[in-house]
């Protein structure tokens, strides 16, 4: 989950909107000063960064609205990021950043300050036309619903990935014998990949495409929906590394929840967990089989080879689930806290 005051994005092609102001209400005594930086807001502010450039070195700055990020070696440029309780301000209002400090010149400092609004990434998205003339724009609902899943993608992202602020992540995800487990979706706002809910979600999404392909086609989202569903299906296939061996989780929930960072910045170990004949999981194996079965039907005409591969694995997993019975939360302790 990305909170406004923790939001740090990778380099983008669009610029984050900025506002510029200067020091006002200057009050000084000896080598001390107090002043205000006031920005009049023209849009909603949802997390911010202030970059202050002084005309002289400032020995120290005291303020209570933000955390210092850095300052230049000559102490002329200071950068601050809001504290949680100062992240939000509203259109038509102002942000008044009171600062104090010690200066080294013969007169009080002057400064120019740039405010960056983290709540606006600078991208504009054209509206989705309501081609059906209905009260609510269901074309847009479908488009944004698919984009939600696209935002959860893990692994090496394609060049045409529709979420511009996401980048490659978890490229070293692998099984205990080095099996490639990159890809798939993150789950529930964290960075763990849980196979059980991913398979269940894929089953339902695949069934919706199977039943309502005409609606996706009419909304202009048919190709996007095929891409959406194929992403987790590719990962589910990777996880089936043996006839009676299936990886069902990548990442440790405890370690992951202790970090809450962007997946692109993950640094913790990413253990992988699997079920086998001796440690069965009928529930999760059957759900993988269901997702692959629906996927096979969805891609039957679009990609016959992929469809056939899905069906082969689905049959093996169904047999695995029926032959070696048991709950996967009893076999994989790492999942017990979430799925028992």
**Residues pairing with 283 in the sheet:** none
Taking only the tens place, the pLDDT of each residue in 107-164 is: 999 999 999 998 887 777 778 888 778 888 999 999 999 999 999 999 999 999 999 8
pLDDT, position 15 = 58
> In degrees rounded to 5, what are phi and psi of residue 304?
-55, -35
| Residue 131 falls inside a structural domain | no
| Residue 100 falls inside a structural domain | yes
Residue 20 sits in the same domain as residue 79: yes
Higher pLDDT pick, 68 / 261: 68
Residue 58 sits in the same domain as residue 22: yes
Residue 45 sits in the same domain as residue 166: no
pLDDT, position 191 = 93
CB 207 within 8 A of CB 128: no
Residue 144 sits in the same domain as residue 286: yes
Residue 184 sits in the same domain as residue 102: no
Strands 245-250 and 272-276, how do they pair? antiparallel
| Residue 268 falls inside a structural domain | yes
Residue 237 sits in the same domain as residue 198: yes
Helix 195-211 vs helix 222-239: angle between axes, to the nearest 10 degrees?
Answer: 140
Taking only the tens place, the pLDDT of each residue in 253-286 is: 888 888 778 899 887 789 999 999 999 999 999 9
Q: Please report which helix (H) or strand (E) contains residue 339, including its range.
A: helix 333-339
Residue 102 sits in the same domain as residue 20: yes
Residues 6+ apart with CB under 8 A from 48: 81, 82, 87, 95, 115, 116, 117, 118, 119
| Residue 124 falls inside a structural domain | no
Residue 55 sits in the same domain as residue 190: no
The domain that holds 95 is classified in CATH as 2.60.40.290
DSSP designation for 144: H
Distance CA 218, CA 296 (A): 23
Report the SS3 class of residue 19.
strand
Residue 145 sits in the same domain as residue 223: yes
Residue 263 sits in the same domain as residue 321: yes
Taking only the tens place, the pLDDT of each residue in 159-187 is: 999 998 899 999 999 999 999 999 999 98
Band the pLDDT of 3: cuts 50, 70, 90. Answer: very low
Residue 168 sits in the same domain as residue 245: yes
Nearest partner of 291 among 267, 317, 264, judged by Cα: 317
pLDDT, position 120 = 83
Taking only the tens place, the pLDDT of each residue in 218-246 is: 999 999 999 999 999 999 999 999 999 99
CB 335 within 8 A of CB 194: yes
> In degrees rounded to 5, what are phi and psi of residue 74?
-85, 5
| Residue 226 falls inside a structural domain | yes
- Calculate the average pLDDT of the chain: 92
CB 91 within 8 A of CB 59: no
pLDDT, position 16 = 62
Band the pLDDT of 199: cuts 50, 70, 90. Answer: very high
Band the pLDDT of 25: cuts 50, 70, 90. Answer: very high
| Residue 128 falls inside a structural domain | no
Q: Determine what percent of the chain is predicted with pLDDT higher than 90.
A: 80
| Residue 110 falls inside a structural domain | yes
Residue 163 sits in the same domain as residue 110: no
Number of structural domains (the chain) is 2
* Residue range(s) defining the domain that contains residue 170: 138-339
The domain that holds 267 is classified in CATH as 1.50.10.10
Query: Is the pLDDT score of 13 beyond 70?
Result: no
| Residue 323 falls inside a structural domain | yes
Residues 6+ apart with CB under 8 A from 213: 222
Cβ-defined contacts of 258-266 (< 8 Å, 24+): 259/191, 260/1, 260/6, 260/190, 261/191, 262/2, 262/8, 262/169, 263/154, 263/169, 263/170, 263/186, 263/191, 264/10, 264/166, 264/167, 264/168, 264/169, 266/169, 266/170, 266/191
């Amino acid at each position: 989950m990305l909170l406004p005051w923790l939001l740090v994005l990778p380099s983008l092609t669009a610029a984050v909107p900025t506002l510029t102001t200067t020091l006002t209400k200057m009050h000084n005594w000896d080598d001390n000063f107090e002043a205000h930086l006031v920005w009049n807001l023209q849009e909603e502010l949802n997390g911010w960064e202030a970059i202050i450039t002084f005309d002289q070195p400032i020995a120290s700055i005291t303020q209570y609205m933000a955390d210092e990020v850095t300052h230049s070696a000559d102490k002329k440029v200071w950068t601050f990021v809001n504290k949680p309780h100062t992240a939000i301000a509203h259109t038509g209002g102002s942000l008044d950043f009171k600062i104090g400090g010690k200066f080294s010149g013969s007169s009080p400092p002057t400064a120019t300050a740039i405010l960056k609004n983290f709540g606006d990434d600078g991208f504009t998205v054209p509206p989705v036309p309501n081609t059906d003339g209905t009260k609510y724009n269901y074309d847009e609902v479908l488009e944004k619903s698919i984009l939600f899943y696209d935002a959860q993608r893990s692994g090496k992202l394609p060049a045409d990935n529709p979420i511009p602020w996401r980048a490659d992540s978890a490229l070293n995800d692998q099984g205990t014998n080095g099996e490639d487990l990159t890809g798939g979706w993150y789950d529930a706002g964290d960075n763990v990949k849980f196979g059980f809910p991913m398979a269940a979600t894929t089953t339902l999404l695949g069934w919706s495409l199977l039943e309502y392909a005409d609606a996706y086609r009419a909304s202009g989202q048919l190709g996007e929906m095929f891409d959406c569903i194929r992403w987790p299906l590719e990962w589910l296939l990777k996880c089936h590394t043996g006839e009676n061996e299936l990886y069902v989780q990548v990442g440790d929930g405890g370690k992951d929840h202790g970090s809450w960072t962007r997946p692109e910045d993950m640094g913790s170990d990413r253990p992988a967990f699997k079920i086998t004949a001796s440690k069965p999981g009928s529930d999760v194996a059957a759900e993988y089989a269901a997702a692959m079965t629906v996927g096979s039907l969805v891609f039957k005409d679009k990609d016959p080879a992929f469809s056939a591969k899905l069906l082969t694995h689905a049959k093996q997993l169904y047999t695995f689930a029926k032959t070696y019975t048991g709950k996967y939360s009893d076999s994989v302790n790492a999942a017990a806290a979430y799925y028992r």
